[in-house]
A and B are shown apart, each in its own frame.
Chain A
């Protein structure tokens, strides 16, 4: 519950962004993000909220850990936590808030 997950914003509708997590698109809320975000930005997300816009130069370094983790099955606690974080974002079809 303390490891956020990075994803790329593909659409923004008010305070809700559609974020692409390795091909899985989910909706996250933007009330908590630290600075203004735009389509194409990477954000770090936690329990369904973006909590940080990831600066351009830090994107690669941030993604690396997850790419390795996502090779693992859910038997792996850390990989399971990361997938849980992705599931904390809503499916796209649920609409607004």
Chain B
């Protein structure tokens, strides 16, 4: 691994309340021992959860009979190559393309936006769509915002649209919606997943009730969790109890942020501007209602309409496609494989030269495992293994 110092430090980090962590770990061991069919695989769908799990070394204190894995919770990772190709094409045609930093090095078929930038295209990294709008006000050239992220960033795009935009500004939406990310995994006939940890901050927007139909339909418990190590351990414990009891309910263990109905004001703006649309998710499948597309009344702001991208022929690159075929990001994101199962991981696929999108984003499983290490190879800590 690249950064052994940092990894060591991540695992040394102390819990603010080590006694509570130890007692949660003991309770987890006790409950998992009461479940017949082990190991019990639980999935979270949030890059920040994976960062917390990896950097605090939570997998080292979980019994081996509990497997906590990351699902398709990295919006950059599920952004498909043709979407990157669209952004690259616009940049190559001379538009300013602004996007969040994570998107810069995500491979397209021929190029990433970083490659286009190196070749002279005007690509800008912004932390907020607001900064892209500010850029548009300083030029008469076209400025396209390549909009990525789940609900939490889509609401910002919506607010900016409703606030009014300069005429040279348009939006290339690659926004995604969290519930279909969970559903695509829950619906797999061979899924190993027995319960979900729902992303705390996305749920601030949507509220926890949003997950109830999913829990009911697939008979899977869902627990909304925060980002403290203890928040995550508490969520794992509660999920295991629900699995043991066969109770497919939604519980909110993050009440300091998440409410039943969420942020109504933000939801109103989100759904005034966007509507769910089916789309291909990189390496996974066509996901019905997985994307957020601009509604027809905002077609004039849609870069796909304004620049006729729908008719763009798909670029090809045999070399890149050949390597990309070995990438198992899709299998990793639906819980069928781990980064360490990939022959490219840490070898042909590195953060500075990523093959798959999961190695690019700070929220991608491969990137996080590369930095902090993944599942530690330690002696089992519990009797439930």
Contacts and interface: CB of A to CB of B under 8 A. Distances in A.
Interface-centre pick from A68, A76, A80, A87 (highest chain B CB count, 10 A): A76
Interface stretch (B20-28, B182-190, B261-269, B313-321): B261-269
Contacts of B228: 64-65
A39 to B, nearest CB: 20
A15 to B, nearest CB: 8
Interface in B152-205: 152-153, 155-156, 159, 162-163, 199, 201-202, 204-205
Given A34-B263, A76-B6, A61 B371 contact: no
Nearest to A59: B256
Interface in A46-84: 46-49, 51-52, 54-55, 58, 61-62, 64-65, 68, 75-78, 80-81, 84
Given A2-B199, A34-B265, A81 B155 contact: no
Given A2-B199, A3-B201, A85-B127, A47 B156 contact: yes
Contacts of A8: none
Contact of B163 (A58, A61, A78, A97): A97
A49 B202 contact: no
Interface string B2-15: 01001000100100
Nearest to A55: B256
Contacts of A31: 159, 162-163, 269
Contacts of B372: 77
A48 B205 contact: no
B129 A32 contact: no
B71 to A, nearest CB: 13
B150 A2 contact: yes
A29 interface: yes
Contact of B256 (A3, A58, A87): A58
Contacts of A7: none
Interface in B214-232: 226-228
A46 to B, nearest CB: 5
B130 interface: yes
B75 A48 contact: no
Given A2-B48, A31-B159, A78-B52, A48 B127 contact: yes
B153 A44 contact: no
Interface stretch (B31-39, B333-341, B361-369): B361-369
A31 B265 CA distance: 8
Contacts, number: 134
Contacts of A64: 16, 228
A62 B204 CA distance: 13
B16 A1 contact: no
Contact of A44 (B10, B159, B204, B362): B204
A47 B204 contact: no
Given A2-B363, A65-B227, A81-B51, A52 B263 contact: yes
Interface string B72-108: 0101100000000000000000000000111000000
B152 A77 contact: no
B131 interface: yes
Given A29-B130, A32-B265, A48 B201 contact: no
B127 A47 contact: yes
A77 B367 contact: yes
24 contacts: A2-B149, A2-B150, A2-B363, A34-B264, A46-B152, A47-B100, A47-B127, A47-B128, A47-B152, A48-B127, A49-B159, A51-B204, A51-B263, A52-B263, A64-B16, A65-B227, A75-B6, A76-B10, A77-B372, A78-B51, A78-B362, A81-B362, A88-B128, A90-B131
Interface of B: 3, 6, 10, 13, 16, 46-48, 51-52, 55, 73, 75-76, 100-102, 127-131, 134, 148-150, 152-153, 155-156, 159, 162-163, 199, 201-202, 204-205, 226-228, 256-257, 263-266, 269, 361-363, 367-368, 371-372
Interface of A: 1-4, 29, 31-34, 44, 46-49, 51-52, 54-55, 58, 61-62, 64-65, 68, 75-78, 80-81, 84-85, 87-90, 94, 97
Given A29-B130, A33-B265, A88-B130, 15 more contacts: A1-B100, A2-B48, A2-B149, A2-B150, A3-B48, A31-B269, A34-B266, A47-B129, A48-B128, A51-B263, A52-B257, A77-B362, A89-B128, A90-B130, A97-B130
